[in-house]
Amino acid sequence: MREVLYYAPTELTEATAILADHRDKAAVLAGGTDLLPKLNYYEVKPHALLYIGRLGLSSIHNGSSALTIGATTTTADLATHHLVQQYAPALAQAARLSGSVAIQNAATIGGNIANASPAADLVVALLALDASVRLLSHSGQRDVHLADFFLGPHLTILQPDELITQIHVPLSPGKTEFLKLGRRKGQTLAVVSVAVRLQLDGDLCHDARIVLGSMAPTPLRCRTAEHLLRGQKITTDLIHQAATQAIAESSPITDQRATAWYRKKAGEALVQRALLQALDKKEVRP
């Protein structure tokens, strides 16, 4: 077996310097729940591992306009943290429905984003919340809307020398819901998942987000379906139309988990349900 260098820096400048030194030959290691299976199956063969768990990036703060979540915050923390439950309940729900207790204790939000699976539960919720990510390299930092981050399955705009350091979730009003269908109730990837956010004024819909997981090469914002709802009076009929439209925007594949046929069929029901259930939810107020 080839030797792999292992770094566990405590300073961000050190971490970005290591990434720059190794160009694309270093792999960032957070919880390892996505990376280690890939290492074990030789799907990736890095020369160096950069462990980022000692950089002090595991925290959740409440700013004036956004929640700031450190990249190595665990899924378990997201599921239970009072700020997440209060201001981003859909994210807390997505975290609760991710993997198992053991996985939740190790898995991180940064890893879920960087891994860029079309099924990533946290990402689906974060997209509905208009989240953005902060990317840091030795030469500077940039903030990118999560909606502009993904290019395809396991493909993102993240450069080899960049690290996700923070996730920003804007504090905005609305009613949200996250639903997930797996092949069983726990320890299962989404066959289809959906996150919605409705900004309402009485029964008038100001703005809407409808995001699907496992229904396209990346987690998918269904913009035409969202548009159908915007400025309209919310009715059951309209919700059905929006759900049909959301599925029309999707392009699921058949894999071991389900056929494309099933994903569309159940996905439509799930979107309808998420929108209807969101209406009954308590409004998030920043």
Partner 1 sequence: MKKKGVGMSCVLHPTGNKGAGDPSQAAIQLKPDGTFALLVGAVDIGQGSNTILRQFAADALGVPIEKILVSNFADDFAPLCLGSFASRVTLIDPHAVVNAVEDLKRRIREWVANEWEANPEDIEFDGETVYLRGDRERRSMTMDQIAAGANFGGGYNPGFLVGTGAWQPAKFHAHDPETGEMPAVGAISFGCCIAEVEVDTETGVVDVTRLVQVWEVGKAVNPLLVRAQINGGLHIGMGYALTESSYPYWPTEDYAPEKLGDYFMPTFLDYPPELIYGIEEVPHPAGVQGAKGFSEGSSNGPPPAIIAAIHDAIGVWIDTYPATPEVILKALEAKKASE
E strand intervals along the chain: 5-7, 26-29, 48-51, 60-62, 66-70, 132-137, 140-145, 150-152, 155-156, 163-170, 175-181, 192-201, 204-213, 220-221
Nearest to partner 1 of 97, 167 (CB atom): 97
CB of 161 or CB of 226, closer to ligand FAD? 161
Contact between 10 and partner 1 per CB under 8 A: no
Q: CB under 5 to 8 A by kind: which of partner 1, ligand FAD, none does 173 bind?
A: none
Which CB, 143 or 255, lies closer to partner 1? 255
The footprint of ligand FAD (CB under 6 A) covers 27-35, 52, 71, 75, 98-99, 103, 106-108, 110-112, 114-115, 120-122, 158, 163-164, 187, 189
DSSP-assigned states of every residue in 93-107: HHHHTSS-HHHHHH-
Give how many residues touch partner 1 by CB under 8 A. 21
DSSP state of 57: -
Residue of 11, 259, 283, 285 interacting with partner 1 (CB under 8 A): 259
Q: Does 256 bind partner 1 (CB under 8 A)?
A: yes
Rounded Cα gap, residues 219 and 116, in angstroms = 8
75's enclosing H/E stretch is helix 75-80
Distance CA 11, CA 14 (A): 5
Q: Which residues bind partner 1 (CB under 8 A)?
A: 100, 181, 183-188, 191, 254-256, 258-259, 261-262, 265-266, 269-270, 273
